[in-house]
Structures are given as structure tokens and as C-alpha cells.
Amino acid sequence: MCNYSDFVENRGRKEGIKEGEAKALVNLMQKLKMTIEQALDTLSIPEAEWDDYRMRVAQLEAHLAQ
């Protein structure tokens, strides 16, 4: 059972980090007028993950617009 709780904890931690990075991307885009690609590069996010972050940023912006 310990392995499952570790798995859940690690997954939650990773999601939290990604959520924080998405918020940082939005801040860079808004305050420094960066494109999403410039912001992704600034945060050194691997290009293989860019599509995931584009989706996260779009969802976050939609939520903020409400």
C-alpha cells in the first residue's frame, strides 16, 4: 500500500509543479508581453512538453477571463 500512496503523492506534486509553471507562463506573457514560445523557452521547458503547456495556459487564461 505504501507504494500506491507514494505514487499518488508524486503525481499530485508533479501536477502542482506544472500548474505553477503554467501560471508563471501566463505572468511572463502578460507582464513582459512574451509569446508563449518565448515564455516556454525562458522557463527552459523542454519542447516535447510545449503542447501540454499550451493547453494548460489556454485553460488557465479561459478561467481567468470568466
- Tell me what the mean pLDDT of segment 15-44 comes to: 97
33-62 per-position pLDDT tens digit:
999 999 999 999 999 999 999 999 999 999
- The string of DSSP letters for 6-53 reads HHHHHHHHHHHHHHHHHHHHHHHHHHS---HHHHHHHTT--GGGHHHH
Spatial distance between the Cα atoms of 15 and 30, rounded to a whole number of angstroms: 23
Spatial distance between the Cα atoms of 2 and 6, rounded to a whole number of angstroms: 6
pTM of the model: 0.86
Half-sphere exposure of 25 (CA within 13 A, CB side): 27
